[in-house]
Amino acid sequence: AIREALLWGCTGFATGSRGEECNQERRRHEQGGNTHLVLLPEEIPWCLELMKQAQAEQQVPKPVDETREVDFYNIAENRLKVFERDGYKCKYCAKQLTRFSATLDHIQPVSKGGTNTMDNLVTACLHCNSSRGSRPVMDAIKKNNAEQTAASDANKPVSNFL
């Protein structure tokens, strides 16, 4: 309680007319020839009021933005919410996925300050997720587009190139 009072600026005792009511001496402590008057914060009315206000402020529940503060990567139920939001489609190659083949990818990698929030996660197939690494999202999309173009060109009949 004394530490709390010190944090709120209650480092001494009141003076003047309030001093009489606050000067309830608990004990005297002698150290190095000096006598110190020790008052408990509960004995100083204005410190007590500040402490009550601080406790009341701490007990007020803060509004929670579920999409920002909840871990959507490590909690299975929340992972499903991301998959459902994305329609179980890979955001990089548009491949349709299942609950068992879908993976989550961090838009901004955790290694670069990304979080496990819903707005930093997307559904990805295993290939796109593992091949992206920690490269920026746009680089991964460009690479996937180039691979898809090369694959579709490889599947075209030779007569189309002549």
pLDDT in tens, the chain (162 residues): 454 444 445 544 433 334 433 344 444 445 566 666 666 666 677 777 877 888 887 776 666 555 556 777 778 888 899 999 999 999 988 999 999 999 999 988 888 888 888 898 999 999 988 888 777 777 766 666 666 666 666 665 555 544
Q: 114 CB contacts (<8 Å, ≥6 apart)? A: 106, 107, 108, 120
pTM score of the predicted model:
0.47
Give me the residue spans of the domains in the chain.
Answer: 2-59, 66-161
Residue 35 main-chain phi, psi, to 5 deg: -105, 130
Q: 154 CB contacts (<8 Å, ≥6 apart)? A: none
Q: 9 CB contacts (<8 Å, ≥6 apart)? A: 50
Does CATH place domain 66-161 in 3.90.1280.10? no
Q: Torsion-angle region of residue 9: left (phi > 0), alpha (psi -120 to 50) or beta?
A: left
Amino acid at 16: G
